Amino acid sequence: MKQEVRTDAAPAPVGPYSQAVSHAGLVWASGQIPLDPASGRLVEGDIAAQARQAFANLEAVLEAGGASLASLLRVSIYLTDLSDFAVVNEIYARLLPDGIQPARATLGVASLPLGASIEVDAVAFQA
């Protein structure tokens, strides 16, 4: 049976969707943009600041669903400027533990919700 995953440690959804859904031992996390969970506003700063916040939001949602960054199976990263790839990749690499890395796609997109420069979604197993 699928269950909704919710946490106040990540921003509330900005539309008709769940932060994540868990089912059959997996957590399917919706896209996380760099919103500050307390204010609901985009974090200020460059792509590094935005990436750190988007990944922090993703981590909070995964943990609320009984998963973690260490249990990631698949990650999708959406960037409005692919020249930010190297910076985002460096931050991503520091966040993930050693071992088998998740499958991943990085896509260039024309725009993202609320003017964000990055969005990250993922699938992880419940640890």
Domains of the chain: 3-125 (3.30.1330.40)
pLDDT mean across residues, the chain: 97
Place of tokens 């943009």: 33
Q: Quote the strand ranges of 9-117, DSSP E.
A: 20-23, 26-32, 72-79, 103-108
Structure tokens at 71: 């249990």
Predicted confidence at residue 14, as pLDDT, reads 83
Q: Rounded distance, CA 60 to CA 37, Å?
A: 10
Q: Do 24 and 124 touch, CB atoms closer than 8 A?
A: no
Instruction: Give 15-51 pLDDT, tens digit per residue.
Output: 999 999 999 999 999 999 999 999 999 999 999 999 9
What's the average model confidence in pLDDT over 57-81? 98
Q: Which of 53, 96, 88, 93 is nearest to 72 (CA)?
A: 96
- Model-wide pTM > 0.85: yes
Helix pair angle (85-95, 47-64), 10° resolution? 40
Percent of the chain with pLDDT over 70: 100
